[in-house]
């Protein structure tokens, strides 16, 4: 089952990349979005790496720096898309997908190392998968379901929490870090509820009306 899931994700990513190149959608914004996806495995590898890096750079610091760079592409791709007027359907599809490909593997690795509670990682994963399913249903009905302010704050809180855990791996049990992580979990849950309400009022109500 794990192999098939990984294979499916790889096929989606490969198909998206091919679509970007062949359809002429490979602009600066979409390039940055796909860069965010590509950097995720490198971050996970650095978190788990225990060998020696050049200049004796700690592996967690290297992972944290690359994670920040990857997170910044989330803002940069939107900026370039608006500035160059290159907002595409592919970009709308890839942007939230890239966020999940960046955050979930990194958070899963942090849980594996005991730095992130399992229940928090589970909440984040369930939220992301359920909202993705909601967006698929909305897209099939021709309904636009863009990110809201709660989703943006959620992403920011996750970036802050993961950055702290990466740069300070031995502080996960301290009061300050626990507060940061729990606040991130609370914001994620609130965002989940917010999107659920939107889905009920904007997606499923319209579906029922159209079916009627």
Q: Between 35 and 147, where is the model more confident? A: 35
Q: What is the extent of the structural domain holding 54?
A: 19-207
Residue 163 lies in a domain: yes
Q: What is the pLDDT of residue 208?
A: 52
Residue 132 lies in a domain: yes
Residue 128 lies in a domain: yes
186 and 178 in contact (C-beta within 8 Å)? no
The helix/strand/coil state of 146 is coil
The CATH number covering residue 36 comes to 1.20.120
Residue 3 lies in a domain: no
181 and 162 in contact (C-beta within 8 Å)? no
Domains of the chain: total: 1
Residue 105 lies in a domain: yes
Give the separation between CA 96 and CA 102, rounded to whole angstroms: 10
Instruction: Give the pLDDT mean for 155-162.
Output: 96
The answer, yes or no, to whether residue 10 has pLDDT greater than 60, is no
- Range of lowest pLDDT (15-29, 80-94, 111-125, 142-156): 15-29
Residue 158 lies in a domain: yes
Closest CA to 60 of 46, 71, 70: 46
Residue 9: both structure tokens together: 């994700």
Task: Summarize pLDDT for 31-61 with one digit per residue, the tens.
Answer: 888 888 899 999 999 999 988 888 889 999 9
163 and 67 in contact (C-beta within 8 Å)? yes
Residue 11 lies in a domain: no
Instruction: Give the pLDDT mean for 130-153.
Output: 80
What global pTM score does this model have? 0.78
Residue 49 lies in a domain: yes
């Amino acid at each position: 089952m794990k192999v098939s899931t990984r294979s499916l994700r790889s096929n989606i990513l490969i198909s998206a990349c091919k679509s970007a190149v062949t359809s002429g959608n490979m602009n600066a914004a979409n390039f940055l979005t796909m860069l965010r996806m590509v950097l995720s495995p490198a971050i996970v590898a650095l978190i788990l790496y225990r060998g020696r890096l050049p200049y004796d750079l700690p592996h967690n610091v290297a992972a944290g720096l690359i994670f920040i760079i990857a997170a910044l592409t989330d803002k940069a791709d939107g900026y370039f898309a608006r500035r160059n007027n290159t907002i595409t359907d592919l970009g709308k599809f890839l942007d939230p997908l890239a966020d999940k490909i960046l955050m979930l593997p990194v958070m899963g690795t942090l849980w594996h190392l005991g730095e992130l509670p399992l229940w928090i990682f589970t909440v984040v994963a369930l939220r992301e998968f359920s909202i993705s399913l909601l967006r698929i249903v909305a897209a099939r009905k021709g309904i636009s379901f863009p990110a809201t302010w709660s989703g943006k704050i959620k992403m920011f809180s996750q970036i802050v929490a993961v950055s702290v855990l990466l740069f300070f791996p031995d502080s996960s049990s301290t009061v300050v870090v626990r507060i940061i992580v729990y606040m991130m979990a609370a914001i994620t849950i609130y965002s989940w509820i917010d999107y659920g309400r939107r889905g009920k009022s904007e997606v499923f109500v319209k579906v029922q009306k159209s079916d009627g």
